[in-house]
Amino acid sequence: MASHDSRAPARPFLSFRTATPWRVRFACLALLIAAACNTTSVDSSSTTIAPSISKRTDTTTDIHRENNSLPSLIRLQAHHTEAGNFDRDGQLEFVSTVSPPEYNRLVWGPEQNHEDAYAAWKSAGWKDAIFFTDSQGRSLSKRIVHSEGFCLHASTLVPANFNNDGIDDVAVLCHGFDAKPFPGEHSFVLLSQSDGSFLSKRLTSRTGFFHGGSVMDVNGDSHLDILALNSFDGSTVAYFGDGAGGFPKSRKLISTGVWQHAISSFDFDNDGDGDLIIGGNEYGGGDTSQDLPTRIYLNNGSGRFSKGNSVTIPGVRGYETVLDFVVSGETLFVLRTNRQYRGGAIQKVDMNTMQQTGLYTRSDAPHPNRLRPVQPRNGQPTFSDLSTSRRHFDFSVGAKNQVLFLN
């Protein structure tokens, strides 16, 4: 990735912004992927190996864009899968979380019984399992020391090097038991250790419904901070990293509404610091798609955010539930589904005007989950879900900046 030491011109829609007196630098670590690997993928037409990946180690932001290409389209039977360098071997691996089968059966299965599920959770103390795989989907032996326990139903994984040892750690945002009474859960961070193991440390001081999370340097001290979005109260809290894997201080950055659950960070106004984009159920329990709109909250240069310094993303009637965000060039793509989580849409937004310039819908498919940049197809930026059953919204960006569905 190119260095951001030289500030790009401000985008027209944000021309009122004052440039900050300090700049945040991006560092890149090239993770070479051996060309000899023959990665297995259920999508036989997909290119599965990329020669390299740029991994930001002291990055400001974490939004997924095309020049952070992942090497493969491995489909893993997991709630969530992310890629990172977990072995100090210069190659890319995957980390995944899986909730207990009985929990999945009783909460979402055809014979679901939330009362029985809740009672079983209270009795058995269900927790997610964590596993690592290599670029070919083979299991890696990684000892995980749960010194402070772990959570049920991790909702977001964010790999990043929090302790500056050259190996990615993992921020694990958890919302817990996903049915009434919604008791909430703690979130955790998996820290790499010198012996190759990972230590699970509790991140949060109180439970919450932590559905979304992100990573950026909020306070400009060159250490990565973890952002946790709590859907219980709509607050986004920053846990400030100390560069050694500790997060001794925290501060609420902004409250945006109890229905919000999707968050990413990106320098939208090209001023050298990270901004936030936060969305979720835009109807907010009401009748219109703009009751609780998705917004970009601009950093004031000191890690402060407010509604008064924000830009609204246009709503989409019929697809009011926002799931994720990706960027390609000057275009923001917003992943959406309807209120019943059926079907989905990819909304195209011009980041120079913040106006919608396209909408691509599929009403007959399972809703999208999270898309990640993979090796370009035919030279075109390509985004794909890394999990098993959500292939319907994988897409490339065409020559005219249009969405080209791959499946």
| Spatial CA neighbour of 211 closest among 258, 274, 148 | 258
What digits encode the pLDDT tens for the residues 309-324? 999 999 999 999 999 9
Region for residue 383 given its phi and psi (left: phi exceeds 0; alpha: psi -120 to 50; beta: otherwise): beta
Say how many Å lie between the first and final Cα of the chain, rounded: 29
> Alpha-carbon distance 348 to 207, whole Å?
35
- Cα maximum dimension of the chain: 58
- Higher-pLDDT residue of 260 and 39 is 260
Residues 6+ apart with CB under 8 A from 386: 70, 73, 74, 75, 76, 81, 82, 83, 94, 370, 372
- For residue 294, what pLDDT is reported? 95
Q: What percent of the chain lies above the pLDDT cut of 90?
A: 64
- For residue 290, what pLDDT is reported? 54
What digits encode the pLDDT tens for the residues 65-92? 444 444 443 444 456 889 899 988 878 8
- Three-state SS at 312: strand
The mean pLDDT of 175-197, rounded to a whole number, is 96
The overall average pLDDT reported for the chain is 81
- Three-state SS at 122: helix
- For residue 89, what pLDDT is reported? 83
Distance of CA 41 to the CA centre of its chain: 22
Structure tokens belonging to residue 55? 């991994």
The mean pLDDT of 372-386, rounded to a whole number, is 87
In angstroms, what CA-CA distances link 388 with 96, 176, 313, 350? 12, 22, 30, 31
Specify the amino acid at residue 223: H
